[in-house]
Structure 1
């Protein structure tokens, strides 16, 4: 799916920056009250947030987080 980059940036800001930037994930983000804030769980959290914001949630293919150059987490939703 093709998406306007301005719109995508707004969705990314709402799903990621507004909810997690400059925050202690374990104390300030309700999702992580009972979930360990590993990179894998952060990836799932971002996926879930984006799915609720996108006009076509099925267009979301993957969320990828680079911890380091060699340590990368990818999430593509629940695989059945």
Structure 2
């Protein structure tokens, strides 16, 4: 089994805010992340796939094709967007990094070739905070 990781980057704004709560409760729970004027992050996205290399090419997957899949199904949908308002796959969900990682997983899984599996989505919100999702 070989693991291959592609790194992508995007910028996006969001706010953490539960509409069922008061402004005060949201601010108590989420602090500055509940800012009514939003806030942004420079996200680093690591997509790891796994499988057996092709006998003829030695590749698990053509990395150019992996790049295109990630860009088409994730990056164009989230880059320079408001995650709360502009991203269809996050509609009705709290726009946490955890939910964003799960949403990215769900965007990628059906679009990968059959000979590879998605192993992990690792999403850095800041250099010190990241989420890993393995599809469980």
Query: In the alignment, is residue 11 of structure 1 matched against residue 69 of structure 2?
Result: yes
Report the more deviating stretch, 39-48 or 56-65.
Answer: 56-65
Deviating more after overlay: 4-13 vs 69-78: 69-78
- Give every structure 1 segment of 4 or more consecutive aligned residues whose post-TM-superposition deviation is greater than 6 Å: none
SS of 1:36's equivalent?
coil
RMSD of Structure 2 on Structure 1 (CA): 1.6
Q: Displacement of 1:74 after TM fit?
A: 0.2
Aligned pairs for 1:42-53 (under 5 A) are 42-53=100-111
Larger radius of gyration: 2
Whose strand fraction is larger, Structure 1's or Structure 2's?
2
Question: Cα–Cα, structure 1 residues 25 and 65, in superposed 2: closer, same or farther, change >3 Å?
Answer: same
Between 1 and 2, higher relative CO (CA 8 Å, sep ≥ 6) is seen in 2
> Which runs of no fewer than 5 residues in structure 2 stay unpaired?
1-50, 52-59
TM-score by length of 1: 0.86
Aligned length: 78
Q: Which moved more, 1:34-43 or 1:68-77?
A: 68-77
Tell me the TM-score normalized by structure 2. 0.53
1:56 is matched with 114
In structure 1, C-alpha distance between the alignment counterparts of 2:85 and 2:73, rounded to whole Å: 18
